[in-house]
Structure 1
Amino acid sequence: MLSARSLFQEIHDHDEAFRLFCSIAAKGEDQGGWENGRIARLVEDQWLAPRIARHGADEDKHGRIFNALLHKRGLSPVEVPDDTDYTMLLERQGIGLAHTRLRRDEPLGEADVITYLAHSRVTEQRASEQMRLLRKVFGQHPEIGRAVRMISNDEDNHLAYCHEELLRLAAAGHGRRILQTLQETARAEIRTYRDVSLAVMSHMGRILRWPTAKSAVLAAGIHGVFAYELIGGRHRMTTLRMPDRLDALGGPPPRESFV
């Protein structure tokens, strides 16, 4: 019987599948670390800058964690196929702040900050949900449980921070722009998530030698999620509420380290 647990367990138990999974995750986290690091240097809001830097430091840490999980298995990262590169595909659609903009040493304005936070709010919703799923499957696993719990907690913090900061900007009169940016970002993100999910499953299917019927069932499930999100499920990405975790990224990062 197909389930998230059985699927993730199959990937975990196969060296090449696990290698690809961790490589994809590490690249995405590394990219997020770089982006947040650059934004923290360019933003003029002195309240926000250290929190963005903390966000970037967390993403860098996650990249190191995924690479450490590979190292523990005696594996090295592999080149990530372009069709599985979630962050690159979003940037190509004009979602978030372009890398060409971030490479220029020019301060970011308020509109740039809204674009950044809206992009983060949508993508961190996805990351938080994915890590909660992995936490259900592997939270108590002796090899990777601690890493999964740590990253999941961080992603929940990132999502809380995005809610709080966007609500702060909405209260300052930017509500309409924020809502429009969230809606545009969410529409692009759900398409990209579908495409990346299909690509990842295709690569995993070849590695794990899945029968055609199994691949077809998984693809149908991905398309089903896309249809649900297109019709109405994306609203969870575009609404804002004051989080239970206030100032989730205030203060220095925890001293605990995985690697």
Structure 2
Amino acid sequence: MLSARSLFQEILDSDDSYQLFCSIAASGETQGGWENGRIAALVPDSMCELAPKIIRHGADEDKHGRIFNGLLKKRGLDPVDVPPETDYTMLLERQGIGLAHDKLRQDQRLSERDIIVYLSHSRVTEQRAADQMDMLVRYFGDHPEVGRAIRQICHDEDNHLAYCHEELLRLAYAGHGRAIQRTLHECALTEITVYRDVSLAVMSHMGRLLRWPKAKSAALAAGIHAMYAYERAGGWRRMVSLKMPERRNALGGPATTAPVL
């Protein structure tokens, strides 16, 4: 029977699929670290109080990249090139979601509107990350090889999501509510499409590496399309709601180091 647990167990048991999985994850986290570092350097003076939290966010993402690379090293594997059709971060950018890398490479200060775009984009993508890590912790939190790593990342993703909620609500109270809601909706509706496409691409690569029969690949693809249909019909709304988190000032302290794997 197909399930998230059995699927990930297959990926974990094969060096080739595990290598691709960790490489994709490490690449995405490292990109996120760079983006947050540049945003922190370019934050407008009117929002300078956000800079330390953005730096902390970026440091966490860099740490996650090191964790996934560490998992590869622990098994004696090297990172592999990430197929472009599986690059979630860059595909979102190509769809106009988040701040363009060309803008972040410049030395011009960002605007308050840019920070709203950044936080809204983060609110949506961190929801996705938190949901995925919650699932992995539920099934593999006690796994001797990856358990400690995914528990650490899950904790950080929950902090990132809390930070996005709190800062967006603060900006909404300051008069940016309509802009925030509009941007959140745009991000969420685009993200669910990109996530579907990336999921299909990842499963296609995994299917070839693990030599899945056509029927199994077709069943997984059907499941991905069904999830997209659910999200398109209204599931996306969980990604745009805002509520004050229990974890207040979740990124107010120094970043923790990567665990020894």
Give the structure 1 partner of residue 140 of structure 2. Answer: 138
- Correspondence for 1:223 among 213, 222, 225: 225
Give the structure 1 partner of residue 71 of structure 2. Answer: 69
In the alignment of these two chains, the number of paired residues is 259
The answer to whether 1:26 aligns with 2:29 is: no
Structure 1 residues 15 and 237, CA gap change in structure 2 (3 angstroms): same
Please state how far the C-alpha of 1:255 moved relative to its aligned partner.
5.0
Query: In the TM superposition, what whole-angstrom CA distance separates every residue of 1:161-187 from its partner, at most 9, and x where no partner exists?
Result: 000000000000000000000000001
Question: Aligned equivalents of 2:80 and 2:21: distance in 1?
Answer: 10
Give, as a single letter, the amino acid of the residue that structure 2 aligns with 1:206: R
- Correspondence for 1:49 among 51, 73, 94: 51
Give the structure 2 partner of residue 13 of structure 1. Answer: 13
Give the structure 2 partner of residue 251 of structure 1. Answer: 253
Query: In the TM superposition, what whole-angstrom CA distance separates every residue of 1:27-58 from its partner, at most 9, and x where no partner exists?
Result: 00000000000001100322200000000000
Please state how far the C-alpha of 1:137 moved relative to its aligned partner.
1.5
Give, as a single letter, the amino acid of the residue that structure 2 aligns with 1:243: P
Query: In the TM superposition, what whole-angstrom CA distance separates every residue of 1:105-143 from its partner, at most 9, and x where no partner exists?
Result: 011111000000000000000000000111111100111
Give the structure 1 partner of residue 36 of structure 2. Answer: 36
Give, as a single letter, the amino acid of the residue that structure 1 aligns with 2:225: H
SS at match of 1:240: coil
Counterparts of residues 103-122 of structure 1 (less than 5 Å) = 103-122=105-124
**Would you say the 8 A contact 2:67–2:258 is kept in 1?**
no
Structure 1 residues 256 and 188, CA gap change in structure 2 (3 angstroms): closer
Query: In the TM superposition, what whole-angstrom CA distance separates every residue of 1:62-114 from its partner, at most 9, and x where no partner exists?
Result: 00000000000000000000000000000001100000100110111110000
- Correspondence for 2:195 among 178, 193, 196: 193
Please state how far the C-alpha of 1:256 moved relative to its aligned partner.
6.2
SS at match of 1:234: helix
* Structure 1 stretch displaced more, 41-50 or 222-231: 41-50
- Correspondence for 1:60 among 59, 62, 66: 62
Counterparts of residues 198-209 of structure 1 (less than 5 Å) = 198-209=200-211
Give the structure 1 partner of residue 3 of structure 2. Answer: 3
Question: Aligned equivalents of 2:245 and 2:133: distance in 1?
Answer: 18
Counterparts of residues 86-101 of structure 1 (less than 5 Å) = 86-101=88-103
Question: Aligned equivalents of 2:256 and 2:143: distance in 1?
Answer: 22
Give the structure 1 partner of residue 163 of structure 2. Answer: 161
**Would you say the 8 A contact 2:60–2:256 is kept in 1?**
no
Question: Aligned equivalents of 1:63 and 1:256: distance in 2?
Answer: 9
**Would you say the 8 A contact 2:67–2:259 is kept in 1?**
no
Give, as a single letter, the amino acid of the residue that structure 1 aligns with 2:223: G
Question: Aligned equivalents of 1:256 and 1:61: distance in 2?
Answer: 6
Question: Aligned equivalents of 2:213 and 2:190: distance in 1?
Answer: 31
SS at match of 2:106: coil
Question: Aligned equivalents of 1:11 and 1:257: distance in 2?
Answer: 22
Please state how far the C-alpha of 1:257 moved relative to its aligned partner.
3.5
Give, as a single letter, the amino acid of the residue that structure 2 aligns with 1:225: M
Please state how far the C-alpha of 1:252 moved relative to its aligned partner.
1.1
Provide the aligned C-alpha RMSD in A.
0.9
The answer to whether 1:233 aligns with 2:235 is: yes
Question: Aligned equivalents of 2:16 and 2:237: distance in 1?
Answer: 36
- Which consecutive unaligned segments of at least 5 residues does structure 2 have? none
Question: Aligned equivalents of 1:12 and 1:41: distance in 2?
Answer: 38
Q: Where in structure 1 do 4 or more consecutive aligned residues deviate above 3 Å? A: 255-259
Question: Aligned equivalents of 2:95 and 2:235: distance in 1?
Answer: 21
- Report the TM-score, using the length of structure 1 for normalisation: 0.98
